[in-house]
Structure 1
């Protein structure tokens, strides 16, 4: 190490401490350290470097007490978060955040002024244009020009560790292949072992991602009865990269998403994201609105759930996904929650409805504060369905009233036929014959043990015999993964797939 420091000091005129920092980043490679020093302007890479004695020096990439990550440049070692010590993870995240800000700019940095658009000659098409285009139809020529314009407009930033681009090899082989990873990052992952490690750690989950357009996703979602879950990425926002590491590569989340959703992840500059941003994400240019994850109904195109600005940790996010699946269903006979209150977001009046004074005031605010700050923050549509008073209960009451008026008397509902004098008695604990079921309701949650051979109706009997406080005598449904358990009440808990399940109690009250 001392010899390498001496060589770098001779080449760059850097101080020995500064040279040590660059050599540690490049795993002792003098040539790479010198190149990195001149490219970065010789900036300080993180304060004084630790002193390394000869007795503690080991081979590059072998791992030691100061550098717990051991990665062999010649081997293709899959790296996951669970295989990295906590201290190493903190160091990696700090370095990743710094590198991301250097590559793409932080949230508070000024936009780099791009070079002027090069001059170009355009030809206006008119009568007789078919002859000008060599006999091809005018429509084909126009489509060709529009495609060229779209390609120029959709030109994205160069690939990198935090802006990995999809390639045919990645869709086929996955990010575990080292050469495919290098192609996706434009060679950035091959700089050194640490860069390769970070590239894998923050790589998108290509295997989970739907490879197609927005319209194709809607068509497949309707055919497969799967919701669309959309993630719009901004390479300048580090929390977007954290989603790839913590959320989209979490095994439990991957399993849930694969079974119930089609996952679409677009960069905000991707032309495929234009249609989505136009209809759902009007604030896509405002960095404070990221991260952005939403669930869309493929049948109607309605955005029914939104996570914006702050995404919960993996465990809470998974629980919210299951809660969503309990409350919503793509079954045409299911009753999905509807909005019970108006949006609290303050919407601006259209420009043509403003007075001259109001137009002047808005223009002044836009010039002083910046147009992005005037945009109304997006609001979670699912939150508008949560309030006192259930419209679904009102609809049920109206239907029952109409049946009574038509038939003269109303037939007892299925819920009314459930006995209310059979309190629950938990069976003895036996992993082979019993299971615990989590029962969630508006007031909280309950966990009870049932026998696998018990009928699903036992859940209804328990809730009716021991009603939730303040909900006595109110009709309810019990839903699991979008299925109303009243329809399978004669099946056993094991047959209905309720082993270790979580169910949701929905009250039908006016």
Structure 2
């Protein structure tokens, strides 16, 4: 496309670039336009993506736009000379060769800079930024936080999509399973466990529809200690083994005192159904539950001692009657 553009066309595109990218030099505009084969929209997009990651710094000196003519004429001369030599001369002065088209490299570098701002390591592929990898990002709470300092409109739809499936960090207990169980026992609340899988989309649906429901969120935060874990972590495998869980995702109500599984739901659970099933656990905590059990045991065992006592009294009366009858019969025998 470079060969098809005239000098005036290039000058117009450079001017348009500088009108949008305020404060940049004509040299910067030429670099980005050449890198994108003189496609203005792609050059601007590349500029803003790279500038957001710190690739392009604002120019300290901004030449006037009128100097664009000299840049365009100089570049045209370089393009004509590039077929036979990498370095050309104009008016006896040596000039640098034209920049090669490195569009893929520039995009990858810029995206890797953007990845670091989202909490991802630079060595990960840039495709994670264009299409969010929820399997990996869900393991890192920081990756769900939106960069408030970013003004790029390109990131807005991506951040909105990520926020839909954000784990309920405001509800979650931070720590291992045993500490969550101990905290629930101290506070006298049931332990609500959500075991998730990064391979099951229903796990993300639970975050979006169930834990994101306002009524469910208020109910859980008030009456339960909520603990969420992934099945491929050490804590998740421990819980799967102990409770013999095969289907993921699963929601459990755990007695924090004994560790007993009181209730379970497998797969996607609608918020209305979950609220209805949790009502029975909101009437009383685990302490009330165990207190009720302890009161029931003496009633059932108190009947047996009374029966034993009654039986032993009856046997004593019968013995006395027997001895009295024997004594009377012996007196009658002596008289005869």
Q: Give the structure-1-normalised TM-score.
A: 0.31
Structure showing the higher helix proportion among its residues:
2
Bigger CA radius of gyration: 2
Q: Which has the higher contact order (CA 8 A, sep 6+)?
A: 2
